[in-house]
């Protein structure tokens, strides 16, 4: 997998898309930290596509720390 900075990715976008079309993945970085991936589109069946989507959503949900939303507190903070 190739790692490319954002500036370089902007100047080489066509080339990077061609690489993705051939099955290669490219990681786009900002200040050395991975922020996006350019991956090939794969045809999937409806069930397989949903399964992958649910897996990705579950993985994302594990990374997000959520707290109950308090409308009253948000209103009070907005008044300050």
Q: Per-residue DSSP letters for 57-80?
A: HHHHHHH-------HHHHHHHHH-
Looking at the chain, the whole-number percentage of residues with pLDDT higher than 70 is 94
43, β-bridge pairs: none
Model pLDDT for residues 46-80, shown as the tens digit of each residue: 777 788 888 888 887 777 777 777 888 888 888 76
The residue assigned the tokens 């970085």 is: 29
Global pTM exceeds 0.85? no
Q: Which fold has domain 2-79?
A: YefM-like fold (3.40.1620)
Q: Where are the domains of the chain?
A: 2-79
pLDDT of residue 18: 92
The chain-wide mean pLDDT, for the chain, equals 85
């Amino acid at each position: 997998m190739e790692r490319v900075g954002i500036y370089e990715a902007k100047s080489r976008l066509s080339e990077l898309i061609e690489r993705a079309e051939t099955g290669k993945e490219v990681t786009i970085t900002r200040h050395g930290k991975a922020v996006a991936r350019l991956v090939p589109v794969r045809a999937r069946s409806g069930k397989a596509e949903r399964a992958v989507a649910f897996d990705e959503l579950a993985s994302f949900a594990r990374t997000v720390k959520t707290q109950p939303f308090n409308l009253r507190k948000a209103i009070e903070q907005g008044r300050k």
